[in-house]
Each structure stands twice: as structure tokens, then as C-alpha cells.
Structure 1
Amino acid sequence: MVDYPHPSHLLCSFASSPDLWLRHLALEHPMCPVDAVSRLAMVKDSQLRCKALSHRNCAPEVLREEARSMNTTLRLAVASNPLCPGDLLEMLTQDPETEIRAAVAANTAAVPELLRRLSGDNQTAVLSAVAGNPGTPGEALARLACSKADAVLESLGTNRACPAALLNKLADFQQIGACIAVAGNPSTPVTVLSRLLERGCGIVHKMEEAFGRTYLHYFSPPVVLLLQRLAANQASPPEILEELLSVAGFRVREPVAANPGCPFAILNELSVATDSKTRRGVAANPVSPQELRRKLATDPEPGVRLELARNEHCDPSVVALLARDPEGSVRLAAVENEECPQAAVALLLTDNWHTVRLKALVHRACTVAMVLDAASQVCSSAFGREVTPILADLAHHPDFPPFLRTMIVHHKGGSSIGYQGLRRPDALCR
């Protein structure tokens, strides 16, 4: 018995399945093999082709062929591929379709010289993409800062590579959209963030004087988004976060709770907030203490547990608890988490959710022995009519016992599964 490289062999099985959904699932995985991706880039289904062409493992020769396609959607997928060859990106900068040139401008694989040329394009969508690309040269960004298009200024404000001097300039613009973008940029200097906070607080005070102190409870003017971006910005120091909580209250609690820079004392306080959105923020925080996470793992609100299961910094013991959650969406998030421990992955191989089982099968912690144990458990337990669907999922593994495959019926043209009964229920246990 060979322990095949995992999960490539399973993704190949998914990619070869007659089930369209399984083929899409294969392409959603970053480790889908080159051969499988390239094969799916040539099928008839347009959505599948586009997903394959934009996958980082799509073969360069396939990209070259489709870059000359008459189909705009396919060329767009090629232009969006993060590993698209430089000569193809160069060719696509001359494409007559604005959205394709914009996709090239947004591609992080685009070289500075190419982005410099695209900064002279006459379409706002292209200029906006250039302004947001971290690879754009500084002189091109400086020219774009003189644009009168709000979309270009907002993209420039979100660019982490934007020089501090330009961010400082954008923060003084009258357009609130540019200020909102700068407020959320982790590269924005603290002095600029403090100035934006002062500006936002001034607007709030004027609104409260004109419309009453409860105005922000019922309306969401643009200044609320400005304060929320400041609250979510990991560059915001604790004093800014504390000021935001006192000025905007419930409007900023969730982003403050999710901010890695939030002081532990405030996190403790927010973890018991009556508002479930605030507790979701604490659950999503990458630096929240493990004792808070263990407490939130039993939160009555499924959304809180879901955010916790998605947290890549969550302790494996907490993820293991969430793998037994009654909510299927929480279990799915748990098995998608790289920190999901082997014991939890083994448990989820026989989950009653089809997607959870498949995600467990391709998890990096899954082994051949775990798959065989899962098949053994299914065959020796009272799973009823669920036996065949579970075995059908486990059968994607190349070491799945051949005699059990005879109990799985795939109807032509789809993945409809029939039930034939178990003639040897204890065969794996002998």
C-alpha cells in the first residue's frame, strides 16, 4: 500500500469526476495539479474554463493559446492569472476591452514598466487598477494622485506601497472616499490616522448637534465608514481605538474587537458584549487570548463560533471542539482550518455533510490509515442509507478497498448515488 502525495491524487480524482461541482471543488484548491488544471481549462463549461485559466497552476502553453481567444471572458481569466507570463501580460495591455487591460493592471505579476505605461491609459477602470497595484512605480502613483476621478484616488489610498507623503496629501482631500481609503491603509502614518480621527469626530459632533445624539443609531453617513476603517486598521494605536469606542460606540465595536492591536483589557470587555457582532470580532482577532477563544467556542450564536473556526491562529484544541459543532457551517470552517488536528479530521471524514467529508479528505492532516479507518467505521456502524454516500466520497482515495467500490453506483452523466446494501459489513474489520 502506497501513501500517495497528499492531496494531489485526490484533487485529480475530483477533477476527473463527472460531477461538475466536484471539478469546481478541485479548482478551488491551490494544490490542484498542473495536468488537472490544464485539462479543465479546455472543457466546454465556460465557468470551469475561466476558473482553471485563472488558477496559478495552469500550464503556460494553455494560457498562451487562450490569450488569443475571441472570447473576452477567457482572455480576462488569463489576464487575471497571478502567474501569467510577462509576454502575455504585455500583449494583453493592447487588448481593445477595458476590463482586460484593467485586469492586467491589477495583476501583481505585472512588471513596473508595464504598469508605468498603463498609467497613461484613458480609461478610469484601468487607472484605478494601476493606482491600487503595489508594484506601480512611485512617479506613476504621484501622477495618479492628480486625477479628478474618485475611483482612482480611492484605489491609490488603499495601496500599501503608496508613499507616506501621498497618503498624507490624500487625507486632506475633500472627497470622503479617498479619506476612507487612507484610513484603512496599514501603511498610513499614525500622525495621519490621528488627523483623520479628529476630522471624523468633528463631523460626528456636528451631526449630533444638528440631529441629536442618537443620529448614528439610525443612519449610516460616510463618516461612519471612515471611523470603522480606522477601527479595523492594524496601524491604529490603542489610544485611537479607545477614542473611537467613546465617540462611535456600537458602530465600531466589531472592527475594534477584530483589530490585532486591540489591548487585551478591551478584548476581555468586548468578549461578553450583548451584541453578537462584537463577539464575532473578538473570535476573529488573531491575537485574542486562548481562554477567550475556549469560552467563545460554546457561544450560543453560530456566527461567533463560525468566525472562531475560521481563525487561522486558533489553538488546535479549540478547533477540535468546533469540529463537533451542531452547525454544519462551523464544522466546515473547522476542517478548512489548517490547524484542525488529525483526530478532528478523522471524525469529519464521516460527517453527514457532503462538503465537510470532501474537505476532510483533502486536508493536509488526512492519511491513508484514517481513510481506511473511516470506511471500517461506516461498514460496522448503523449509518443506514448514509453508508453509500460516505463510501462514495472516501472512494476518491486510491487506496480505498476495491471490493467496497462495487457497492457504489454512479448513474451516467452525474453523481447520483444508489444504495445496494452491504453484503460484507464486517469485511474491513477482519
Structure 2
Amino acid sequence: MNHVLCGLAANTALPSELVDRLIAVADADIAWHLADRADLSRAQALALTSRVEESAAWLAYAGRLTPADIDPSEQPDAALSLLAKDVGCPEWARLLATDPVPERRKKLAACPGLPPDVVRTLSTDPAVRVVAELASATTPAVTAELAAHPHVEVRRAVASNEATPPAVLAALLTGEGLPPAQWCLVCERHRTTAVDQRQHPLPDHVPLPDARCDGAHESAVHDIRQMTLSNPATPADAVTRFADHPSALLRWALATRTDLSSRVYERLAVDPDPCVRADLAQNPALEDDLIRLLADDHEHGVRRDLAHHPRVPLDVLVRLAAGNTRLGPTVLPRIAAASTAEVEELAQSRDPAARKLVAQRRDLPARIRQALAADPDAKVVKAIAPHPGLSEAQLRAMVDRHGVRVVAKVAANPDASPTLLEDLTRYQPPVRKALREIARHPRATVAALRTCLTDPQARPLAAGHPALPPHDIVELIADTDWQVVEAATSNSSLPLAVMSDLIAQRCSQ
């Protein structure tokens, strides 16, 4: 890969005439970057497709090419890109439905708005992967027919389709009313010859190493049930009995459903598998009593997921945050939805965990923001430090009081001054995470960026910063790290003459 040319292809300051020169020498890697340019003209897009065939599909999907620009017989992948966006001609679909490449027919099967005759053709395709792809996204009438398909993988896809009629989904759970399946991946791999597999490619889904088939397709039937139980269109009364099933995977599939009885949720809340309880913990259908029960769960993952429940009581959330549950630097849904009175209450709480939770918000009233900026607890200050609207004096006071614990977050504040950012690069001991924040900060100065270049992780970010002087950028083009090279050559401050020379040098090699 030519990282210099790839970087130039992504450079927003590259003039149109140099884009033309890159198109003339583009390979697939350069074309991928060129296809993403917002200023690429239609003429350039057509020239790029002539140079690099696969770029037609990328450009078509990005909306740079229209049906008038595509010949489906010569550019089938580009035609598929337009059909995937429900743009294109019905005749294209008819042509591609018999394409000799199964992967293209599979992509076609996933396209919306296919003509009925094309759907019929794909529903009887010799490649199971094509029929399964169709079954996963087609209409209720077609799924009802494909539910009786002889291959279990097609039935599995029908079970995952939310458009499948509820009665059909209920039948897939029990098998009642459907003819016995003839094939699954396990038995098919053992019974088909290599020639058969080339002629009738198997689905993409690969069975687990311990998958079994003793003639009744046991593992495949289990997969169908798992998909059906996860499908919200499956009737609730058909899935209830699986709450006590020996398979944890089937019980797990129930945990996210919002239409079950309180008795089923009570059973799942004490399930022996922590994955079941963790998924249940975020279920919006849970009542307060079960939320409080799960708050005392011994598994960290359950408590962490419960903290993301949209209706978790604030006292429970504060208790989770105050304990050893790691919640991460994010605004939790319940905090984002907190009322003005609740925000006030949390900000004035004696518990620093409560103050930290509300400090994660970035829309706090000025009075609350100011109070939290002066909080005695470092974790609270670390959470509020990136909040816009803080003065330089407040940001410096945070660093003075709490030191290395808050430096990176202060550096991430959008209102941090150029002088403050420079001072933070000189902080002792150095804070590498702060250098990465400064390297991407729009107010970073030349001096600050040069310090950032000394850190391996901040170096690529600094190399692409437009405030870096042209001389520094040019030097970085010879860097041993390809990420730095691409960042430097994609820097909009790279001189035009250097861009032109680089293209001329690489094109002549």
C-alpha cells in the first residue's frame, strides 16, 4: 500500500487537477480513499470506475453514480449497490437473479423491493445461502412458504424475520404443522461430495464444533428455537414455557422480550446463568421490585447492565455507582432523563457517586456546573472537566487541586485556551492521555503539537492537525509509522507544491 498517495487521496485540500492525476494511477487502496471524497465530481467518479472496477460499487452505494452510469452486465456489484438502496431497474434484478456467482445472488436477495418473479426465482435458488438470505428479510407471504423449506438453515432465517406471521413462528418452535426438515449443516457436510458443495454452496452460518445431528437435526432445531424466541413477533404465550428450559441459550433469548408475564421475569431474575440475568437487567418491562433485586446481584456484569436500565430508581443507581460497579465515563439513560429537580438533588448529594453521575451531563445549568467544578472529590471533577462553559481559571484550579487525575479531562475541554493546552503538555509527570486529547484539540498551538509528536499514540493525531507548520508536516512524510505518514499527507496544511511533487514522484516510480 502506498500510504503517501492514500493520505493525499483523503486530503480535503487536494485540488481537482491533482485528484485527476491520482485517479490515473489509482489502485484499489487509493481508489477507496478517493471514493470517499465529498468533492469528487461525476466525471471523476466515472473515471475512477474505469480505472478501478471495484470502486463502482463503493461510489454507487455512496450515491455518486446513478442508474444511468451503470451497466449491470459489466458492473454487477455496482448495480447491486444501487439495488440495495432501492434504486435501480427491475430488469437488473432479473438479470442478477441468475448470476453465476452465488454471493451476488445472495446480495440481491437482501435488496428491498424485488419484483415478485425475482423473489420466486431466488426462493428456489440451488444455493441454500441465497434462499436463507431471502428468508431473513422477505415478506410475510414468502416466509410462510419458506418455513417448510427442506433445509433447516432456511427455516432458521425465517425464524429471525420479524415479518414472519406469528402463527408460523409458533409452528417453528414446535415443528407442528410443518413437514420434517431434510437437511442441516451437520448432516449435509457429511453427506455431500466436494462437487456437490461447489454446485450448491452451503450457508455462511458455521455450526459449532459440538453441533450434533443424529438424523433429527438436534443442534439446528435448537438454533431455530433460539431465533424464534428472540423474535418479538413470536406470540408471548408460545414462548413462556421455555423460561425453565435446560438450555441457557433459550432462556437467554427470552431475557430481552418486553411482552412476558411478571412470573416469567421473576424466574429469569434468579436464573443460574449470569448472561440471562444481565440481559434481563436492561429490559424496560421490569418492575421496580425486580430492578432492586438485580441491584444486589453478585455478578458485576448484571449490576453494570442494570445501571443502563432507563427506569432504574435514582437511589439504586447511586448505590451501584458508589459500590464496586464500574460504569464508565458515560451519561447513563436515567441520568440523561433526570428532571431539573432530580439534577439539583444529585448535584447537592453528600454522596460523591451521585454528584459524579450528574457531572457526566454536558447540559448542566451554570450554577450547578460551577459548583461541581469546585467539588472536593477528584472523580466528580474529572467527570465535569470536559463540560463546555468552564473558565480557564476554573480549569487551572482543577489541575492545581487534583493533579494528574484530571489533566487529560481538562485537556479535552472544548474551551481550554491555547496557553493552558501548552502548559498541560509540560505537566510533570507527563500525562500521555492528555497529549492525545491535545493533539486533536482545535486550539492546540504549534508548541503543544510538537510536544505531542513525542508520544507514539499522539503522534499520528498531531501529524494531521492543520495548525502544524508545513515544514513539520513535510518531515513527517518520511516517518517510519504508516499512520503518521497518512496523517501528514492528508493534512490540509500540506503545501500545494509538495502535494504535486509527491504525486509526480510516486507516479514516475
Q: Distance in 2 between matches of 1:136 and 1:286?
A: 36
Q: Distance in 1 between matches of 2:423 and 2:335?
A: 33
With normalisation by structure 1, the TM-score equals 0.63
2:411 corresponds to: 392
Are 1:110 and 2:87 matched, yes or no? Answer: yes
Deviations 1:73-129 (A, max 9, x none): 755544444xx25x4466456486766555444x33535645565445332222212
In structure 1, give the amino acid aligned to 2:85.
Answer: T
Larger mean CA deviation between 237-246 and 314-323 belongs to 314-323
The 5 A counterparts of 1:347-366 are 347=360
Q: Distance in 1 between matches of 2:329 and 2:73?
A: 41
Give the one of 77, 81, 100 matched to 1:122: 100
Q: Tell me the number of residue pairs that the alignment of Structure 1 and Structure 2 aligns.
A: 347
Are 1:331 and 2:350 matched, yes or no? Answer: no
In structure 2, give the amino acid aligned to 1:178.
Answer: V
For 2:298, what is the secondary structure of its paired residue? Answer: coil
Q: Distance in 2 between matches of 1:275 and 1:51?
A: 46
The 5 A counterparts of 1:209-288 are 221-245=219-243, 249-288=247-286
- In the superposition, relative to structure 1, how do residues 345 and 78 fare at CA in structure 2: closer, same or farther (>3 Å)? farther
Q: Distance in 1 between matches of 2:103 and 2:88?
A: 19
Q: Distance in 1 between matches of 2:29 and 2:325?
A: 30
Task: Tell whether the 8 Å contact from 1:310 to 1:333 is kept in structure 2 after alignment.
Answer: no
- In the superposition, relative to structure 1, how do residues 146 and 374 fare at CA in structure 2: closer, same or farther (>3 Å)? farther
In structure 1, give the amino acid aligned to 2:222.
Answer: V
Task: Tell whether the 8 Å contact from 1:290 to 1:315 is kept in structure 2 after alignment.
Answer: yes
Mark the runs of 5 or more structure 2 residues left unpaired by the alignment: 1-11, 14-18, 182-207, 213-218, 348-356, 363-372, 426-448, 462-509
In structure 2, give the amino acid aligned to 1:287.
Answer: A
Q: Distance in 1 between matches of 2:328 and 2:155?
A: 39
2:359 corresponds to: 346
- In the superposition, relative to structure 1, how do residues 247 and 322 fare at CA in structure 2: closer, same or farther (>3 Å)? closer
Are 1:368 and 2:368 matched, yes or no? Answer: no
Max radius of gyration: which structure?
A: 2
Deviation at 1:197, TM superposition (A): 1.5
Task: Tell whether the 8 Å contact from 2:230 to 2:253 is kept in structure 1 after alignment.
Answer: yes
Deviations 1:348-401 (A, max 9, x none): 889999xx979x96xxxxx6236879836632432x33443222222xx1x324
Task: Tell whether the 8 Å contact from 1:79 to 1:104 is kept in structure 2 after alignment.
Answer: yes
Are 1:381 and 2:401 matched, yes or no? Answer: yes
In structure 2, give the amino acid aligned to 1:188.
Answer: T
Deviation at 1:190, TM superposition (A): 1.6
Task: Tell whether the 8 Å contact from 1:322 to 1:331 is kept in structure 2 after alignment.
Answer: no
2:352 corresponds to: none
2:146 corresponds to: 170
1:186 corresponds to: 162
Task: Tell whether the 8 Å contact from 2:72 to 2:78 is kept in structure 1 after alignment.
Answer: no
2:216 corresponds to: none
- In the superposition, relative to structure 1, how do residues 111 and 323 fare at CA in structure 2: closer, same or farther (>3 Å)? farther
Deviation at 1:239, TM superposition (A): 1.9
Deviation at 1:234, TM superposition (A): 0.2
Indicate the RMSD between aligned Cα atoms, in angstroms.
5.0
Mark the runs of 5 or more structure 1 residues left unpaired by the alignment: 1-34, 37-41, 205-215, 362-366, 418-430
Task: Tell whether the 8 Å contact from 1:158 to 1:182 is kept in structure 2 after alignment.
Answer: yes
With normalisation by structure 2, the TM-score equals 0.54
% same residue:
20
Give the one of 106, 119, 136 matched to 1:141: 119
Q: Distance in 2 between matches of 1:324 and 1:97?
A: 59
For 2:255, what is the secondary structure of its paired residue? Answer: helix
Q: Distance in 1 between matches of 2:392 and 2:73?
A: 52
